[in-house]
Amino acid sequence: MILHILRRAEWDEARRRGEYRPPSLDVEGFIHCSTIGQVVDTANIFFSAATDLLLLRIDERKLVAELKYEAPATPDDERPRTPFPHIHGALNLDAVAATIEFPCEVDGSFKLPASIRDLPSD
């Protein structure tokens, strides 16, 4: 299982279109994802204080596009250099096992939602 952070409007648009194609797919060639162990740091670095986020819980066995675990895309990223899951193509919506509300805390930070806290990590 891998996770992807997105804004609610982006998910609504993906459902309307029948697939998910964020701008990163055209610009970088892939969709950024995280493991359970990586997603909170990712949210805190790139989405601090965002109030309209969802997590997509993705079953990688159902992906049509290729999944690769690669080094972080940004060289100045302060996280450990552990590989991140990247989907190299559009996300087929039937690979999305669940959408999970991902609200920030009062201070703008994130914590792992209870609904995925007890799932096996990485």
Three-state SS string across 52-93, please?
CEEEEEECHHHCCCEEEEECCCCCCCCCCCCCEEEEECCEEH
Least confident of 2-6, 24-28, 62-66, 118-122: 118-122
Reference 52, options 110, 96, 114, 98; nearest CA is 110
* pLDDT (average), residues 42-59: 95
- Band (pLDDT 50/70/90 cuts) for residue 118 is low
Q: Which pLDDT score, from 0 to 100, does residue 24 have?
A: 92
Q: Judge whether residue 119 has pLDDT over 80.
A: no
More confident residue, 5 or 119: 5
Per-residue pLDDT, 31 = 97
What are 11-46's pLDDT values in tens digits?
999 999 999 999 999 999 999 999 999 999 999 999
In this predicted structure, what is the pLDDT of residue 34?
A: 96
Distance CA 112, CA 122 (A): 14
Each residue's pLDDT tens digit, 63-112: 999 999 998 756 555 656 789 999 999 999 999 999 999 999 999 999 99
Q: Which residues pair with 85 in a beta bridge?
A: 69
